[in-house]
């Protein structure tokens, strides 16, 4: 009985393919390969990379992978001890028979480290069309940068001159000696992402700070009506220029609405009193008086009273009291009002 062979070989235009069905191997140019359906299986692989990494990152991943595989190709053929010019003339046929599209090395110069490569109907172009991409892929030009970098024995990078994806008859890449490498591009992308993340964080912090500042403005020095004619404003913390002006403006805008005759400034929680603070209080008192409102100070500590005297506070006619209740009682008395107990029925 005739036995059926489990090994097959075929020479396609000088490129050798062979299969060993018993071992489950498929070789191209004496090295193992695998076949993918371009528009389905291979496209799905690239789609998955893009889905996980993001479109921009995926382009860099493919470019880097193309570059490193190109380095492997150049190393493989250089180890065959063939002349570099023979290798570079042989490579278009290798890629053609391997299903990478019709590849032409239009020109190359080992001395100037330059080359021009054209690719028509490459597998990356077909996948890009299936993906409805509008820009040139990065694997093939990155791959040829790796191949030529190995053959030229220097760093080589590329520029896309024509793009089949964008409507040209073929894609054309110019290659030249350069300091650019995929590693530099990765670092640049990482730095760009870090800067973008930092900017986003700064924007969030700025917005949160703005909101917090607005809240603090509302609660740090609230205007508290006691009666129709008496208001109380507690001064809390230290008042620098921005905070002091904001309080003054907000108070002066609201005084006519309240029609207050007396404004009690509670200084109990006032901190860091300096000459600016005392000048601000004087300004506050004068501005309120122009609107027909008299100021009363309460919560003056012994230390604060000494500061007021030492720094020449000129508003000596302002009534001052140690506690808030006294200030309210004084204002009520001036208005001819009093707090009385409710009569029991």
Residues 158 and 245 in one domain: no
Higher-confidence position of 202 and 273: 273
Query: 231 and 177, same structural domain?
Result: no
Same domain (yes/no): 167, 224: no
Domain shared by 225 and 328, yes or no: yes
Residue 324 CB coordination number (10 Å): 17
- Label residue 218 by pLDDT band (50, 70, 90): low
Give me the number of domains the chain comprises: 2
- The SS3 assignment for 126 reads helix
Q: Do 155 and 270 reside in the same domain of the chain?
A: no
Instruction: Give the pLDDT score at 1.
Output: 39
- 139: nearest Cα among 177, 101, 187: 101
pLDDT band (50, 70, 90) for residue 101: very high
Average pLDDT (119-139) is: 94
Q: Is the pLDDT of residue 91 over 90?
A: yes
Same domain, 135 and 178: yes
Q: Average pLDDT for residues 225-238, to the nearest whole number?
A: 89
Q: Quick check: helix, strand or coil at residue 158?
A: strand
Using the predicted structure, report yes or no on whether residue 198 has a pLDDT greater than 60. Answer: yes
Q: Chain-centre distance of CA 183, in angstroms? A: 21
In whole angstroms, give the CA distance from residue 206 to residue 183.
Answer: 34
Q: Is the pLDDT confidence value at 104 over 90? A: yes
Examine residue 344 and state whether it is found in any structural domain, yes or no.
no
User: Do 256 and 175 sit in the same domain of this protein?
Assistant: no
Q: Is residue 5 part of a domain?
A: no
Domain containing residue 277: CATH number: 3.30.750.24
Q: Residues 276, 181: one domain? A: no
In a domain, 199, yes or no: no
pLDDT for the residue 30: 86
Query: Is the per-residue pLDDT at 2 higher than 70?
Result: no
| pLDDT of 223 above 70 | yes
Query: Who wins on pLDDT, 307 or 44?
Result: 44
The Cα-based distances of 65 to 26, 60, 146, 286, 301 in angstroms read 22, 8, 10, 75, 74
| pLDDT per position as a tens digit, 241-295 | 888 888 888 888 888 888 889 999 999 988 888 888 888 888 999 999 998 999 9
How distant, in Å, are the alpha carbons of 133, 231, 234, 299, 317 from that of 324? 74, 12, 10, 7, 18
Are 160 and 224 within one domain?
no
Q: Looking at the domain assignment, is residue 297 inside a domain?
A: yes
**What residues have CB less than 8 Å from 339, skipping those under 6 apart?**
329, 332
| pLDDT confidence of residue 163 | 96
Contact (Cβ atoms closer than 8 angstroms) between residue 149 and residue 71: yes
Higher per-residue confidence, 321 vs 242: 321
The CATH number of residue 40's host domain is: 3.30.1380.20
Q: Contact, 148 vs 175, CB < 8 A?
A: yes
One domain for residues 46 and 184: yes
Over range 334-341, report the average pLDDT.
Answer: 81
Determine, yes or no, domain membership for 197. no
Strand 294-298 versus strand 320-321 pairing type: parallel
Instruction: Let me know if residue 304 belongs to a domain.
Output: yes
Please tell me the predicted confidence (pLDDT) of residue 188. Answer: 61
Structural domain boundaries enclosing 61: 36-190
Report the range of poorest mean pLDDT among 86-95, 172-181, 185-194, 300-309: 185-194
Supply the pLDDT for residue 272: 81
Whether 322 and 303 have beta carbons less than 8 Å apart is answered as no
Judgement on whether residues 170 and 75 belong to the same structural domain of the protein: yes
Residue 183 DSSP SS3: helix
- What six digits make up the tokens of 133? 């991409």
**20 in a structural domain:** no
Task: Give the tokens for residue 29.
Answer: 């140019």
Residues 153 and 235 in one domain: no
| DSSP assignments along 28-87, one per residue | ETTEE-----IIIIIHHHHHHHHHHH-HHHHHHHHHHHHHHHHHHHHHHHHTTT--HHHH
What is the pLDDT averaged over residues 211-235?
Answer: 77
Q: Confirm whether 91 is domain-assigned.
A: yes
Render pLDDT for 158-185 as a digit per residue (tens, 0 to 9): 999 999 999 999 999 999 998 888 776 6
pLDDT band at 126 (very low <50, low <70, confident <90, very high): very high
Pair 260, 230: CB distance under 8 Å: yes
Q: Report the percent of the chain where pLDDT is more than 90.
A: 46
């Amino acid at each position: 009985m005739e036995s059926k062979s489990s090994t097959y070989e075929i020479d396609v235009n000088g490129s050798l393919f062979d299969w060993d069905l018993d071992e489950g191997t498929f070789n191209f140019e004496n090295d193992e390969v695998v076949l993918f359906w371009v528009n389905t299986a291979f496209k799905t692989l690239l789609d998955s990379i893009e889905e996980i990494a993001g479109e921009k990152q995926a382009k860099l991943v493919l470019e880097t992978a193309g570059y490193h595989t190109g380095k492997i190709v150049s190393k493989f053929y250089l180890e065959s001890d063939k002349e570099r010019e023979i290798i570079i003339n042989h490579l278009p046929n290798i890629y053609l028979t391997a299903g990478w599209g019709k590849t032409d090395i239009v020109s190359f110069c080992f001395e100037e480290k330059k080359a021009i490569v054209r690719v028509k109907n490459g597998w990356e172009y077909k996948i890009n069309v299936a993906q409805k991409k509008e820009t040139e892929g990065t694997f093939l030009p990155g791959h040829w940068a790796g191949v030529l970098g190995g053959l030229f024995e220097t760093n080589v990078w590329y520029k896309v001159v024509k793009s089949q994806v964008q409507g040209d008859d073929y894609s054309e890449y110019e290659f030249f000696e350069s300091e650019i490498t995929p590693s530099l591009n990765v670092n640049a992308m990482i730095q760009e992402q870090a800067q973008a993340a930092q900017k986003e964080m700064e924007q969030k912090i700025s917005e949160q700070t703005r909101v917090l500042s607005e809240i603090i403005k509302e609660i740090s020095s609230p205007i508290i009506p006691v009666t129709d004619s008496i208001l109380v404003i507690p001064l809390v913390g230290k008042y620098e220029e921005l905070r002091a002006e904001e309080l003054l403006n907000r108070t002066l805008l609201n005084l006519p609405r309240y029609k207050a005759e007396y404004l009690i400034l509670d200084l109990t929680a006032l901190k860091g009193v300096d000459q600016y603070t005392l000048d601000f209080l004087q300004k506050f008192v004068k501005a309120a008086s122009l609107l027909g409102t008299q100021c009363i100070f309460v919560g003056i500590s012994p230390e604060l009273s000494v500061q007021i005297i030492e720094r020449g506070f000129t508003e000596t006619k302002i009534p001052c009291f140690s506690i808030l209740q006294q200030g309210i009682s004084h204002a009520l008395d001036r208005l001819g009002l009093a707090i009385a107990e409710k009569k029991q029925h």
